[in-house]
Amino acid sequence: MAWRISLTITHGGNIFAIARERGWDWRDMLDLSASINPLGPAPGVRPAVEAALDRIAHYPAQLPGELEQTLAAQWRVKPEQVMAGGGATDLLHFVARSGWTGPTALVTPVWSEFYRAFPHALRVPLSDPESWPQRGLLVLGQPVNPTGEAVPVEVLRRAIAGREGPVLIDESFIEFTRLESAVWWTDHHPNLLVLRSLSKFHALPGLRVGALVGSTEWMSRLTRRREPWQVGTLAEAAALAALRDTQHADRTRDLVESERQWLLDELSGLDGLRIVPGEANFLFAETDTPAAEICDWFLDRKIILRNCTRLPGVEGEAIRFAVRTRPENERFVHAAKEYFCED
């Protein structure tokens, strides 16, 4: 086990700030640091947002009931088990300040924002479930961010069963996978909370929509402490339109699976780049060269990568890059073959 150390929290998706700093048109840049649906929002999102514009002069519902009911129906849980919010980040920090103030353990690696929400948390390795404490809040990702690895279902179930404290599972990227979601377990496990994002799979990061799912007991306590108006009119309209388009969702999963494999095949022979064959819409790679140097070289070519070096649970130098469409992936592979030597 390891206690906290000083950590600078960074995020991907800084394309507009980088474009301003360098005097570039952001449209010429390839942002692989943020892992968003490569197909973009569902076709019905834009007209839904435009139709909702007439309502922005009025307050939305204090609680986004229609969105929560739609999510509940899709996830086969009760509406009172779902809390929608302004992105997964909003809901994570809400839990940290209002839902849980006791001891916390983060199973590393995990999404970097958890280190900010729980700065005093114990850090325990994913590779050693026997070291995970039985008391307090336990936090882990499925699939793991930033490696994309899948946590075996039996490991998750053992972590939940018989615990003296709650478990929070971050499923921000699970819709890109075929993995079983823990939202279906929440009705039978009163100590389980599941964090979901609509930013990644539904390509809505600019509108900020996410959800928290838990038992009716947990969510009842949290709802009493919840501030009103956390989901805006346009965000709810976009989310509802996105959730209705199941064909877009199927196309997304098929594309991500095929393009991820194509990237693995194309990059497998490069010297100094060891890729973890993960489950998500991104790939994690260990590198021989310092990740900062790699990221700077690619940035000069208007390609943004994610530097994962020094994240808890990540050993050595490492980068992460998103799975995109074939033309975008070809642009990245061409640059990667220029930088890394082929065997």
CATH number at residue 306: 3.90.1150.10
Let me know whether 264 and 192 are in one domain: no
What sign results for the dihedral spanned by CA atoms 51, 54, 57, 60? negative
Do 83 and 219 lie in one domain? The reply is yes
pLDDT of 5 over the 50 cut: no
Q: Do 171 and 223 share a domain, yes or no?
A: yes
For residue 267, what pLDDT is reported?
96
Does residue 10 form part of some domain? no
Please count the residues of the chain: 343
pLDDT tens per residue across span 228-282: 999 999 999 999 999 999 999 999 999 999 999 999 999 998 999 999 989 999 9
* pLDDT given at position 9: 54
pLDDT score recorded for residue 7: 54
Q: CA 284 to CA 273: how far, in whole Å?
A: 10
Does residue 116 fall inside a structural domain? yes
Bridge partner residues of 320 (DSSP) = 284, 306
Please say if the pLDDT value at position 321 is more than 60. Answer: yes
Least Cα distance to 144 among 123, 174, 120 occurs for 174
Burial class (CB in 10 A: 0-12, 13-18, 19+), 309: middle
Question: 109 in a domain, yes or no?
Answer: yes
Residues 110 and 239 in one domain: yes
Do 190 and 260 fall into the same domain? no
Peptide bond preceding 228 in cis form (omega within 30 of 0): no
Output the CA–CA distances (angstroms, integers) from residue 167 to 106, 156, 160, 216, in the order listed.
10, 9, 6, 15
| Domain range for 254 | 15-40+247-339
User: Are residues 307 and 199 both part of a single domain?
Assistant: no
319: helix, coil or strand?
strand
298-317 pLDDT, tens digit each: 999 999 999 999 998 899 99
CA distances from 140 to 127, 170, 258 (A): 12, 6, 27
pTM for the complete prediction?
0.93
Q: Is the pLDDT of residue 79 over 60?
A: yes
Q: What is the pLDDT of residue 10?
A: 60
DSSP secondary structure string for all residues of 267-298: HTTBTTEEEE--SSSEEEEEESS-HHHHHHHH
